Amino acid sequence: MVYKRFIKNTRIFLEMIKIEHTVFALPFAYIGALLVEKSIPSAWDLFWITLAMIGARTAAMCLNRIIDRHIDAKNPRTANRALPKGLIGLRTVWIYTFLSLALLFFATLNLSNLALKLFPVALFMLFFYPYTKRFTWFCHLFLGATLALAPVGAWVAISDGFSTAIIVLGLGVMFWVAGFDIIYACSDYDFDRKYGIYSIPARFGIERALVISLVFHVLAIFLFALTGFMLELGIIYLAGVFISAVILFYQHKLVREDLQKGSASFFKFNGILSIIMFLFVLLDILWEGLM
């Protein structure tokens, strides 16, 4: 009985934090690690980067659910989430949050000195993002900036420094995430306008929001390609960027044809994009190593 309850509660928790959405950020963290010396990092570094990402991702989703629980309870799309529905206790989610932050901190201790010094910045971003929808329609860019910590943080964790190229890649991730978050926010257009939630669709309307999303994705592809030129990556990497562009523009085509269908497919398409980018960075590095 205890075992079944544990399995059930674990399933509820993993559903609450959308564990499958880890596919957005984790591959880009590995990309940041791969690009430091354009080689495969040590298993030790990859281990702690992975734990840091698990801690950061879990804490971010827990905080988002805690801070937004009252809004989620009013929104028909989110009213069935675990906290509003009472499937999991608020105290329990806070415990998971602090445990996740402790994991992030402990992982950071085992990485570079600069990564440890920047831990408060990551902490601020994780706490601050959920509040942005209450006062600015730039909230999509704040979400993108938070996920951009994945490649930038991994680079810092190994190199103990910054580079212009990794900042450019981070900006690409920011615009990529902000672009698909705008599409996703179109599903809440009526609710956001009624309850005063800030978003680009609520501010500019769905039609203009989709144009802004497309512009963000064009910028993302440009910045991904620019990263390749700055780091002197090869044709394999650029092929990955091209495939990513095709994925994004196909998603926009679907959204234009059927907004609900396109919004519902955002996870599939953007999860594939993240994995494609990682695989092509890895293949490019391995190929160059053989030459």
Structure letter (DSSP) for residue 21? G
User: Strands, E, within 21-156: which ranges?
Assistant: none
pLDDT above 90 coverage of the chain, percent: 78
- pLDDT digit string, tens, across residues 43-71: 999 999 999 999 999 999 999 999 999 99
**Between 21 and 118, residue with greater pLDDT:** 118
| pLDDT averaged over every residue in the chain | 91
Alpha-carbon dihedral angle through residues 232, 143, 207, 255, given to the nearest 10 degrees: 70
CA distances 15 to 75, 90, 177, Å, are 18, 15, 21
Left, alpha or beta for 196 (phi > 0: left; psi -120 to 50: alpha)? left
- pLDDT digit string, tens, across residues 120-159: 999 999 999 999 999 999 999 999 999 999 999 999 999 9
**Would you say residue 10 has pLDDT above 90?**
no
Q: Average of pLDDT values for 87-116?
A: 94
- pLDDT digit string, tens, across residues 207-262: 999 999 999 999 999 999 999 999 999 999 999 999 999 999 999 998 888 877 66
Q: CA 8 to CA 212: how far, in whole Å?
A: 41
What pLDDT does residue 18 have? Answer: 72
**Would you say residue 2 has pLDDT above 60?**
no
Closest to 28 in 3D by CA, of 203, 281, 200: 281
- pLDDT digit string, tens, across residues 64-90: 999 999 999 999 988 888 898 888 889
Contact 55, 149 (CB under 8 A): no
How many independent structural domains does the chain possess?
1
What amino acid is encoded at 87 in this protein?
L
Q: CA 78 to CA 188: how far, in whole Å?
A: 10
Q: CA 240 to CA 273: how far, in whole Å?
A: 9
Torsion sign (Cα): 189, 195, 196, 199: negative
pLDDT category of residue 264 using cuts at 50, 70 and 90: low
CA distances 241 to 72, 122, 126, 274, Å, are 36, 27, 28, 10
pLDDT category of residue 6 using cuts at 50, 70 and 90: low
Instruction: Write the CATH number for 284.
Output: 1.10.357.140
What pLDDT does residue 20 have? Answer: 63
pTM: 0.93
The whole domain housing 225 covers 2-290
Closest to 88 in 3D by CA, of 17, 140, 167: 17
